[in-house]
Structure 1
Amino acid sequence: MNQLADTAREGGPERLTAAVEALAPILVGLGGDFAMTAVLAGACVEWGASPMALADVLPRRASEAMMLNEAVPEFWDKAAHGRPLPEPVSASSPQLVRTLTGLTRWRRGMDKNTMTRMAMSWFDMEDWLKPLITVMADAGFRAAVPDDVKAELREHASAVAHRSRRAAWVDALAAVLDDEPLVVIDPRTRQGYALTMSGVGDNGQLHILLADRLVGDPGQSLVVGDRPSRSWVEAATDGDPHLGPDDPAIRLFRLFDGRGTYIGPEGVPADIEPLDGTRVIVLHPPNGNYALGLGRVFEHMTPTLRLDRILEPAETEHWLARLAPAVENDLMAE
C-alpha cells in the first residue's frame, strides 16, 4: 500500500487519477484487510485524483458493507450460544468467520460466501466509509451516483449510525441536494425569494447561508435584520468550519416548512418536505440566542446558495395562501 501510494503521488493528478482508475474495478471483490485498498483510492482523491472512476463501485460496496454489518449481531446471537461478539478488529476475524459460516451447515438458504462477507463487514465497514465520505464531497461524484443508490446508502447508514459516526456522515452526504430550487417566504413583510441550493450539509449551515443571502436593505426588498458576521459565513462556506465558544453563529431566524413543520438546525435540507413539488422555507423571528459552534459539517464540500430573484407580489401571495400555520411544538421553535 505504501509503495502504491508513493508511486501514485510522484506523478501528480494525472498519475493519481490513473491509480484510482486501476484500483476501482478490483474493489468489488475485496473484503477484510484488503478493503484498505478503498482507503488508498480515497487518499488518492484527497491528493488530487478525480474520483469519478469510483462512482459505479464504491457507493454500492459501502452500502453492502453497512447492510451486512447491521445483521452481524443477530446472526452472531444465533450461532454463538451466548458468547460475546468480538471487537471489530481484524485480529478476531477468524473467530467470527468460523462462527457465522458454521450457520450454513444447518440453516437452509445461507451460503458460505455471504456469511463470510457478513463477518468481514464487522471489521471492514469503516474502510469503505472513509473513502466514500471523501468522494461524496465532490458535486460531480454526487451527480454520478443514481438516486436509488443514494436512497440505499441512507437506509443502511441510518441502521448502523448508532455504532458508527462515519455512517451518520454518509447518511447526511447521501441526502445532499444539488441544483435544488428553494422558495423562502417572509410573512412579516410578505416578501418571497427564489433560490438555488447545492452542497449544503445540514440545516445549521443553511441558517447561516440564508441570513447572508437575504438579510439586507429593506428598500431593496431584502429581509430586515442584522447581517451575519463574516466569520460565520466563512465557516459555512470555505473557511475553518469551527467557530469556537467565543464567536458562535447566532440563529437569526426560526425556519418552518410550507406545511408548518419546524426545521431544526441539526437536520438536513433533504428532509424539508416539499409543498406542491417545491421545498418552501418560512422565516420566523428568533426566540433567544441559539448558538451554532460549527459552520459546516463537511469541511471539503463547498456549498452554494444563490439568490436567483425576488418573487413578484402575486407569486408571494400564491405561496402565502398555501402555507400551513407554524406548529410551534418544538422546544427550539418556541
Structure 2
Amino acid sequence: MNVNVARADLAEMYTRMSRIRAFEDAAMAIHASGEIMGPLHTSHGQEAEIVGACMALRLDDYMVGNHRSHGHPIGKGAALRGLMAELLAKSTGVCGGKGGSMHLADFSVGSLGETSIVGSGIPVAAGAALGARMQGLDRVSLCFFGDGATSEGAFHEGVNMAAVWHLPVVFLCENNGYGITTALSSVTLVTDIANKAAAYGIPGVIVDGQDVIAVYEVVMTAVQRARRGEGPTLVEAKTYRYEDHAVNMGRNLGYRSDEEIAEWRKRDPLHLFRARLSGEFDFSEEDLEKIERAAIDAVEDAVDFARKSPAPFAQSAFTDVFA
C-alpha cells in the first residue's frame, strides 16, 4: 500500500475515531439509565471505515448516513455538543431535539442527515450530487448504507440513476455481515456487494473496513474520479459491529457466536491504528494519550452541555413542518 498521508491528517483520523468511540460509550451508559429515549444504534468496530471515508472529503462535500448515525457526522467533523443534545432531545440539538439518535444532521459540515428508513439515503445522496452539478459546484456526495440496504429498491434506483447521469457520488456499503440479526448470506447469493457495481457499469471496490488508511485511499480515489465528472463508485468496506443492532435490548438473540465476536475484536480498528501510529508513524505514547484524553474531555463537555440545555419550547412543534 502506498501510504502518503500527512502527519496532521493521521492525528485527525485518530482524533475522530477516538471521539466516535468515546461518544458512543457515553451514549450507551446514558441510554441504559433511561435518559435517552428510543433505540440506540452504535458503530463500535466500524470507526475506521467511517473516518477513513469522511477524511477523503472536503468540508463542503455532502455526506448522508443511516440509522447507525452518531459516527457519521462525527467522522465528517461535526461538533459534539449539538449531537449529544439531540440524543437527549434538547432544544440545542442539531435538529432542535426533534430528530433523536437516528436522525442527526449538521449542514455546517455537509452532513445532510441520517435516516431510520433502510436504503432511503441512497437516492438522497444522488439528488444532492445532482443539485451540486446543477449549481455548477464540484461537490461530491458520500453515502453510507449497510449490506441490508442493497436488497432495497432504493439501492437499485439511486445507484442506477447516479451511474446513468455520471453523478459525483461515492456509495459506501458498510458490510458488517448482518441486517439486524439476518446474515447477508441468507438474503443474497452475491458474496461481495462490490460485484453488484458491474450491473450499473461503475467501478466496485472492496476494502478492509478495519484499516482507516486503506479506506481513506480507496475513497479518495473514488472522490477524485467523481470530482473529475467520471461518475460514481461503489465501495464495499468489510467491517463488523461489536454491539447488537441496537444496544441495551436486554436479551441475547443468538444470531452470532461469542467466538465470532471475539475474533473480530482482535481487529479493533482503534487498536490497529494506534499500534500503527506508534510504530510506523512514530507517534509517542504521550501524543496518543493526549488525543484520547481530549476525545473523552470533549464528550464529557458535550454531555454536560446537553444536560444543562432546555427542552424544546412548545411553539417549536410548529416549525420545520410543511402542513
Bigger relative contact order, structure 1 or 2 (CA pairs below 8 A, ≥6 apart):
2
- Give your verdict on TM over 0.5: no
TM-score in terms of structure 2 length: 0.24
Higher gyration radius (CA): 1
